Amino acid sequence: MATVAKIVVAHGAWSAGWAWKKMHAVWGQRGHTLFTPTWTGIGERRHLASPLVTLSTHIEDLVGHVETEDHRDIVLLAHSYGGMVATGAMGRIADRVRQIIYLDAVVPERGQSMLDTAGPEVAAALRARVAEAGQDAWLVPSNPMPPDTSADDLAWISTRRVDQPLGTFEEPTPFGSEEITVPKAYIYCLRCGPGDMFRVFAERARQRSEWEYREIDASHSPNITAPEVLADVVEGLLV
């Protein structure tokens, strides 16, 4: 039987706890407990969006959740942009974390922002999208969902994904992945296709002995498109 875990998700950009709805049932049936806090300014907390919301705000959201719930011995599962949030938070909650698993996620070093890790071309394209927003030029429009997302899931997602404050992408993290001492793992989604900004982090993790590395035959959000497969891969990494 797989190790039973308390899993706390650091969700991705434009998303929220709602995007992990399928995983509550899947992991619950296997004996795991899942927590999916939502960051300020998006999801059900979109009414709190403002130009003052930054990466630090989201790090505080995660730290506040872990400390308020008094979580201990958790598996921190960081998806996409959530790698920025989880890494930044580890400087304060490492003693409560059993292991950290990055799922097709950014793995920053101290002093890097999300845009720093994305590279100049991606950063310029993102800022251009923000400028096109006009009066709301502090909000970043969301990326489209992968082409393998079902029609039913697209209908579910389309009313829930919201624009995200630019400051969350521009602020550097106060803590870096090289400073993390708990067991680390990386899961790379193979169906990301051209323009995949996560491959560099996957390659780095695969080449380093202190990382466990896995691949999943899914697009960028397997919590939506391949929940059972994701559950299997994560279970295989639990320590």
Q: Which residue has the tokens 């380093």?
A: 208
pLDDT at residue 50 greater than cutoff 90: yes
Asked if residue 216 is part of any domain, the answer here is: yes
201 compared with 148, residue with greater pLDDT: 201
Dihedral of alpha carbons 210, 113, 198, 143, sign? positive
**Mean pLDDT computed over 196-204:** 93
pTM of the model: 0.96
pLDDT at 72 (0 to 100):
97
pLDDT at 159 (0 to 100):
92
Is 80 catalytic? The answer is yes
List 15, 50, 56, 80, catalytic entry? 80
172 compared with 197, residue with greater pLDDT: 172
Torsion angle of C-alpha atoms 95, 57, 65, 160, degrees rounded to 10: -130
- Res. 1 pLDDT band, cuts 50 70 90: very low
- Res. 194 pLDDT band, cuts 50 70 90: low
pLDDT at 37 (0 to 100):
98
Instruction: Kindly report the three-state secondary structure assignment for every residue of 92-107.
Output: HHHHHEEEEEEECCCC
Q: What is the CATH number of the domain that holds 72?
A: 3.40.50.1820
**Domain containing 176: what range?**
6-235
Locate 87 and state its tokens. Answer: 């890494």
Nearest residue to 183 via CA among 5, 33, 15, 62: 5
Locate 109 and state its tokens. Answer: 């070093």
- Res. 223 pLDDT band, cuts 50 70 90: very high
Share above pLDDT 70 across residues of the chain, in percent, rounded to a whole number? 97
**Mean pLDDT computed over 135-151:** 87
Q: For residue 78, give the 3-state DSSP assignment.
A: strand
73 compared with 145, residue with greater pLDDT: 73
**Mean pLDDT computed over 6-19:** 98
pLDDT at residue 161 greater than cutoff 50: yes
What would the pLDDT profile of 83-111 be if each residue is shown by its tens digit?
Answer: 999 999 999 999 999 999 999 999 999 99
Averaged pLDDT of the chain: 94
Asked if residue 1 is part of any domain, the answer here is: no
Asked if residue 90 is part of any domain, the answer here is: yes
Dihedral of alpha carbons 176, 179, 180, 184, sign? positive
Asked if residue 144 is part of any domain, the answer here is: yes
pLDDT at 119 (0 to 100):
86
**Mean pLDDT computed over 134-150:** 86
Asked if residue 193 is part of any domain, the answer here is: yes
Structural domain count, the chain? 1
Q: For residue 96, give the 3-state DSSP assignment.
A: helix
